[in-house]
Chain A
Amino acid sequence: MAEPISLETLSGSSRRHLNESAVKAVMAVAATVSLAISALIVFSLVREAWVFITEVEWSTVWGSSWAPRLGRYDLKTLVVGSLLVTIIAMAVSGPIGLGAAIYLSEYASVRVRKVLKPTLEILAGIPSVVLGFFALQWISPNVIQRLFDGTSQFNLAAAGLGVGILTIPLMSSIAEDALKAVPNSLREASAGLGARKVTTTIQVILPAAVSGLVAAFIVTVSRAIGETMVVFIAAGGGGNNAQFTLSPLDSGSTMTAAMAAQASGTDSVVGEALTFQSLFFVGLVLFVITLSLNIVADRFVRRVRTRY
């Protein structure tokens, strides 16, 4: 016979209860610290940006060049520069990343996958500074200058191609996750109706995964906008004096590269009084753009999760 059950036997040991709450407290602190750091970053960003917003002569924010040390703060130079680089980058990483994802998820045999996936991950591990020099020293002379005679070695197009290569692994890995999330039962259903693999992929798998694929695209856009080093090295805007341009074959600068340019060197805050604050202003604009993109992407990812 088992001994009679009392309230004490069911209340458990008090030491274990104590352990449990201690562990919970430590985890809570870790979570709070990361939250607090994020809040502090946003706070410092907004504080300096606010100084710029309140003190700047707004006519200098709409002009023809970004040259903060000369008191020229044409924001559209940087936004358009970022846009050009991002569009070119996505023209590379969108199709190639999606194609690689479809191949890995739908076609590749186990053996091919075993080789291809780690290779893509190695590509993701290349430091962006290395890709920056690759863009400047190889892509620019061998691709851009060969195609468009008389182009400067420093140009936004080469930077865009570099960023595109850099973001292929990100695009392909998120897109592959989205495709893998489509249940196998749908592939079988389609095959069972006499559909070929191409038909199944285009008519069933891609539509079923569309929100995840859109999310992959947006996250990659967000990464491309945020990329700094490749543009800083290859686009040649210099940051001190980037002229407004709509042509990707010109030298130029992006939001991120302009910030890096200002922050580098010993004379980083020398010049016009608001040079330092202008960095935070650009940073805030960038933050708002990427945050909105990430929120939109998150919505799409959630739709994928609730689908099946």
Chain B
Amino acid sequence: MSDHADDVTAEPADAPRAVFHVEDLRVYYGDFRAVTDVSMDVHDNEITAMIGPSGCGKSTVLRCFNRMNDLIPGARVEGRLDYHSIPLYDHKVDPVEVRRRIGMVFQKPNPFPKSIYDNVAYGPRVAGNKKGLDDLVEQSLRKAALWDEVKDRLKNSAMGLSGGQQQRLCIARAIAVSPDVLLMDEPCSALDPIATALIEELMVEIKEDYTIIIVTHNMQQAARVSDRTAFFTAEVDPNTEQRTGLLVEYAPTDAIFSNPQDERTENYVTGRFG
């Protein structure tokens, strides 16, 4: 389904592997500036982690990548956000087409109150793909390491699965539309350590096929799975007392954790944030 082969030709030679090119991105909710000063390149077949304290705007930025912020009344995005060199917020871009290529997994598992099969088949059906669904559902569930647990009860309601299984189902559902990018918004925060380990393992496995951006509160998780890490923090305007998130440092994960350049990053990753 993803026909971005055409887009590759449009890429400039100096950024061969950048899936997203972000420059001076700012997000507003009405008059309130939620995030500012975000500039980063997201690379192909890598896991990019976004970490930082609560309210630093990392989820807000993540939701810019598939134009999910469009669903929030009053949300406005300024600055440059290119997807394969195409400005994502160009007025000609249809967010529905964007979301078919850039999938999302949410913080809380949110399966539809439908059968396991129908959950996975939902995306392909919506995209008009009605043939070979059985194979597609199986492949997607296998990739999400859920197939063996559910293969005998595909017609059962997804609501009957455990939290960890539901989250893997949501990953299978996102994979089923063969996206180019997978956005994950704290996908393990509602899960126990065993389910978390399973999902992390899964992410590392599937990054061969996808570009993954993950927002996480868990620094160890970022250190374990990601190739690059972006550290966000929030600054409080002394006059209005409004918190605005900003990107402090973006570098290979090793560098962020072992040799941070910014004092704020160092304080956060060493647990001295305050």
Chain A positions within 8 Å of B, measured between CB atoms, are 109-110, 183, 185-196, 199, 203-204, 207-208, 307
- List the one stretch of B38-46, B101-109, B147-155, B200-208 in contact with chain A: B101-109
Provide a sorted-by-A list of 22 A–B residue pairs whose CB atoms are within 8 angstroms.
Answer: A109-B73, A183-B110, A185-B108, A186-B113, A188-B68, A188-B106, A189-B106, A189-B112, A189-B170, A189-B173, A190-B122, A190-B126, A192-B99, A192-B103, A192-B104, A194-B96, A194-B123, A195-B123, A195-B126, A203-B122, A203-B126, A307-B113
Q: For residue B1, which residue of chain A has the nearest CB?
A: A194
The reply on B127 being an interface residue by CB < 8 A is: yes
A189 x B126 contact (CB < 8 A) = no
Given A186-B112, A188-B71, A194-B106 contact (CB < 8 Å): no
Chain B residues near A189 (CB-CB < 8 A) = 106, 110-112, 170, 173
Chain B positions within 8 Å of A, measured between CB atoms, are 66, 68, 71, 73, 96-97, 99-100, 103-104, 106, 108, 110-114, 122-123, 126-127, 159, 170, 173-174, 177
Q: For residue A307, which residue of chain B has the nearest CB?
A: B113
Chain B residues near A195 (CB-CB < 8 A) = 96, 122-123, 126
Q: Determine which of A188, A193, A196 lies in contact with B103 in the assembled complex, contact meaning CB atoms within 8 Å.
A: A193
| Complexed CA–CA distance, A185 and B68 (Å) | 12
Distance in angstroms from B189 CB to nearest chain A CB is 14
Distance in angstroms from A197 CB to nearest chain B CB is 9
Q: A189-B170, A191-B99 are in contact. List 11 more A-B contacts (CB 8 A).
A: A183-B110, A185-B106, A187-B71, A192-B68, A193-B123, A193-B174, A194-B100, A203-B122, A203-B126, A207-B113, A307-B113
| Complexed CA–CA distance, A66 and B68 (Å) | 62
Chain B residues near A194 (CB-CB < 8 A) = 96-97, 99-100, 123, 126-127, 177
Chain A residues near B127 (CB-CB < 8 A) = 194
A186 x B126 contact (CB < 8 A) = no
Distance in angstroms from A302 CB to nearest chain B CB is 16
Q: Determine which of A191, A196, A199, A203 lies in contact with B71 in the assembled complex, contact meaning CB atoms within 8 Å.
A: A191
Chain A residues near B126 (CB-CB < 8 A) = 190, 193-195, 199, 203
| Complexed CA–CA distance, A191 and B102 (Å) | 11
A207 x B99 contact (CB < 8 A) = no
